[in-house]
Structure 1
């Protein structure tokens, strides 16, 4: 279960970052006509900071997903190596079921 809560919190963080990015972008669009000089540059810097945070969070989520994928592959390979006959039986059963489904059409 820890993976699920970590995944959920990562998704929540990512969603929050993108919502903040959207809010900041909307703010920039609304004020772009009336802002000049220093105010416009300050708002642009806020947008850059928000984009940086969103990119960082997205990169972290990508790394986490990649690590979980590698762990799943390693676990599957380990199972196949320790239980080759069971794996062969499962694969044959799945092939049989798919063949039956395809032949019905």
Structure 2
């Protein structure tokens, strides 16, 4: 019924975040050394990985918002096709929320 994002995207993001963390760690370690070339190399690598990771995260947030919109359209179509099911589901959700609110008092 709903389109799901693949788990490969999550694995890619986790791998990118791990690479970013590794390069930032190398950058911090290189500040302890006195080699300017090593510091500059680590800094440029960290900046490049940060830009790539941000781009991927922005792409995934767009994908998530599109999936939420698609789910909303599918729910809307389902309720239009079967309105009494929608009424029943709404009543059931209302009863559950009402029971939770009453039990908290």
- TM above 0.5, one fold? yes
4+ long deviations beyond 6 Å:
none
Q: 1:94 to 1:36 in 2, by over 3 A?
A: same
Q: Which runs of 5+ in 1 are unaligned?
A: none
TM-score, scaled to structure 2: 0.83
For residues 48 and 24 of structure 1, what CA distance do their matches in structure 2 show? 9
RMSD: 2.0
- Which residue number in structure 2 is paired with residue 87 of structure 1? 86
Normalised by the size of structure 1, how large is the TM-score?
0.83
Partner deviation per Cα, 1:62-85 (whole Å, 9 max, x = no partner): 111111101100001111111112
Instruction: List alignment gaps of at least 5 residues for structure 2.
Output: none
How does 1:11-50 map onto structure 2 within 5 Å?
11-50=10-49
CA displacement at 1:50 relative to structure 2: 0.7
Count, aligned residues: 103
Q: Distance in 2 between matches of 1:50 and 1:35?
A: 23
